[in-house]
Amino acid sequence: MKRDPLGKFFLLALIVAVAGLAAVTRAPDAKWVERAAKAAVIGPWIERLADLYRRPAAAAEAPDIGGGAEVIYRIDSRRNELRPTVAVAAGSVPPLGSEPALPLPIPSRPPDPEVLAAARELLAAAKDSQTLGPYTLYTDVRDRGLLIYLSAVAAQLESVYVSRYGLEPLPGAREAVVLFESEASYQQFLAGAPELIQQSAPGLLRSGVVATYSEGRGWSEVAATLIHELTHLVNKRALGPALPPWLDEGLADDLAQSRIEGLRIFPGTLGGSAVRSGSRTEYKGGQAAVIELGRAASAGDLPAIQTLLALDWESFQSVDRRSQRYGQSSFLVRSLLDSPDPGLATAFRGFLRDVSEGQEITGEALLNRLGCSWEALDSQLASFVRRQAVKADLPI
């Protein structure tokens, strides 16, 4: 067979090009990358690829403080009263300061050794590592059924995230999960996080360590907390670490408030629980959020979305109406993704794609993508919440 010199040349050129691109992704700040980026034809492409893999040093070392909001309502049918009896949330200082740089996705990182050691020291037993989906698990929980359930939830979370938001996170999950059986042990670990404003959250994300507990809680409740905290980790790999609070918490609660059936997460469905005892009913999770938002909307007391989107981390985490801000953020996300108008879902996913590419995150940017007014967005959310309440037969 006669060999083709031109074919061999193109094959060799292709191999060199692929190797070069791979080298750019491994060392985007190398001197040779800087020189190659100045080349006439291929330079702009090399520069763009390098930008995708450059990570601000400050962002990579930023503290990972996360949390969730949990509100419990009890309704007394004899008195027709509905009052929040428990409203807890993890507060935090702004993760990257009050005015961080625009976010870009960052790779996963291993947990801080000191933080992980402090958590493991509080475990009663079984301190050897296990797996929880793609994460490393340390736990003293003896309920094997619960651990299998949580592992199945954690294993599918990333694929659910991709399907729901249309974003592909950077590969690899290197963080650790610490699941305490005892609430007291968890609270002791929580007390060692000086960054927290209020130490009463059911879950915590700190320096690459997700922590929660199982005592006195149902499987779905523990899973919801785990989903919330792990979604924060996926957000960093898909969008970046310097997200505004409404977006970071809104996505986390959107998935956490989903129903889990047959070991599967069903995004867009309404999770949570309603436990009846005599004339009283206790609502938790997504159902409690719908009740709180629905009541506020009916009373004309739901803050404008424009105001919500302008809040910084400190204002968002302030005690007054904190659970409402979490709920409004998550149901804003839901009202766009699950709207009868498919164009809103497409537009919102386009906004998320813009964020992942480092574009400015502002309310105006979202509004431009959606092509509507603030008033229309407020009306859309209020109508969506009322439909959810009617569908789930919830009192608002």
345-355 confidence digits (pLDDT tens): 999 999 999 99
Distance (Å, whole) CA 9 – CA 179: 57
Q: What proportion of the chain, given as a percentage, has pLDDT over 90?
A: 59
- Categorize the per-residue pLDDT at 10 as very low, low, confident or very high, splitting at 50, 70 and 90: low
Calculate what percentage of the chain has a pLDDT beyond 70.
Answer: 72
Over 90: is that where the pLDDT of 157 sits?
yes
| Predicted model pTM | 0.77
Is 165 found in the same domain as 39? no
Q: Decide which of 86 and 228 is more confident.
A: 228
N-to-C CA span, the chain? 80
- Most trustworthy range by pLDDT among 102-116, 246-260, 279-293, 317-331: 246-260
Would you place residue 62 in the very low, low, confident or very high pLDDT band (cuts 50, 70, 90)?
very low
Cβ atoms of 310 and 363 closer than 8 Å: yes
Provide the CB-side half-sphere exposure for 42 (13 A, CA): 9
In a domain, 269, yes or no: yes
In which domain, by residue range, is 33 found?
A: 5-49
* Domain tally, the chain: 2
Q: Does residue 346 belong to any structural domain of this protein?
A: yes
How far apart (Å, rounded) are the C-alpha atoms in residues 105 and 55?
8
Confidence of residue 319 (pLDDT cuts 50, 70, 90): confident
pLDDT surpassing 70 at residue 275: yes
Evaluate whether residue 359 is within a structural domain.
yes
Q: Do 12 and 84 fall within a single domain?
A: no
Worst-scoring range by mean pLDDT, 5-19, 162-176, 257-271, 372-386? 5-19
Question: Based on the domain organization, do 70 and 18 belong to the same domain?
Answer: no
Count of residues for the chain?
A: 396
User: 């436990």: which residue's tokens?
Assistant: 275
Across 1-10, 37-46, 347-356, which has the greatest mean pLDDT? 347-356
pLDDT(90) > 80: no
| pLDDT of amino acid 253 | 96
- CA–CA separation, 85 and 282 (whole Å): 9
Confidence category of residue 43, pLDDT binned at 50, 70, 90? low
> 33 and 112 in one domain?
no
Same domain as 152, residue 34 = no
56 found inside a domain: no
